Structure 1
Amino acid sequence: MAPSPDLPVDPDVDLHVPADRGELAAHPGTVLGVIAAGGVLGALARAGLQTAFPHPPTGFPWATFGVNVVGCLLIGALMAVLTARPAGPLLRPFLGVGVLGGFTTFSTYVVDAQRAVTAGAPGTALAYLAATLVGALLAVWTGDAVTSRLLLTRADGAAAR
């Protein structure tokens, strides 16, 4: 389905999915507001974790690594839930783009790697870059696969009753 000229185009919305198209009906200011509110919550949670678990420039940035992997796991789970059970037009922008987008931090990931290299720990930087990439991709896949299976099992159990 080609986008209609009267529909705004949002690169984060799949126009082939009716539930995604529903997000376009919400007022753009409202969508931006819920994204901003979610982003504040996610960024505050991330900043709190990074402050609670600091690392030296040559050390492995466990807090940022954990934030990114857990955030990706939750993004995978959220997408599975929203695929199985479409929700209101503001839930995905709030949770997915806002909260989880503000929580995950791939810009800090790059800065952490650059600092490790500058501090004389290129091996740590390389290990961190690779582990985050692999961990994030596996986390998204796992979040989606496990949540989809749980939702299917739950639906099958409800249908059998």
Structure 2
Amino acid sequence: MNNMLSNIALVACGGAFGATLRYLIGFVMLSLFGKGFPFATLTVNILGSLSMGYIFMFMHQNNSIMSSSWWPLIGVGFLGALTTFSTFSMDSLLLLQQGALIKAMLNVVLNVVVCILAAYVGTLLVLKS
């Protein structure tokens, strides 16, 4: 039970930092690009996918993916709060409701395809190092 409480605390701490970074990235992207396209969500999903792929592969190669305190802190907490699939879904739905079908489809394709590629690149970065 102590380990469970420790992991919950790690997830909460990581989540606080991930959510804060998510907010800051959103603020910067909105300042740079405005509200015409959900660039903030796309940015955090790409960065989060790249980081998730890298960290997962690095920890997997070191046989420490689930036994380490790093996974609840970074993989579940930080990256879980940073990446925002629910926000991605709402952004896409709002674009559809606004009649912006092309923007909605572009948002879906970019988030899905680019984020999967980013996760793959993250794994390659570990394999090549």
Q: TM-score, normalised to structure 1's length? A: 0.72
Identity of aligned residues (%): 28
- 1:40 aligns with 16
Q: How far did residue 47 of structure 1 move?
A: 1.0
Question: Alignment partner for residue 117 of structure 1, among 96, 99, 109?
Answer: 96
Question: Alignment partner for residue 52 of structure 1, among 25, 28, 32?
Answer: 28
- Letter of the 2:19 counterpart: A
Q: How far did residue 91 of structure 1 move?
A: 0.7
Deviations 1:59-95 (A, max 9, x none): 2211110110111000011012112224562111101
Larger gyration radius, structure 1 or structure 2: 1
Contact 1:40 1:99 in 2 (8 A): yes
4+ runs deviating over 4 angstroms: none
Gaps of 5+ in 2: none
- 2:51 aligns with 74
CA distance in 1, matches of 2:88, 2:52: 18
CA distance in 1, matches of 2:119, 2:57: 10
Aligned residues: 124
Q: How far did residue 138 of structure 1 move?
A: 0.6
- 1:136 aligns with 115
Q: How far did residue 52 of structure 1 move?
A: 2.1
Q: TM-score, normalised to structure 2's length? A: 0.88
Contact 1:26 1:89 in 2 (8 A): no
Gaps of 5+ in 1: 1-24, 151-161
- 1:98 aligns with 77
- 1:126 aligns with 105
Q: Kindly indicate which of the two structures has a greater share of residues assigned to helix.
A: 2
- 1:28 aligns with 4
- Against the structure 1 CA distance between its residues 117 and 74, is the aligned structure 2 distance closer, same or farther, given a 3 Å change threshold? same
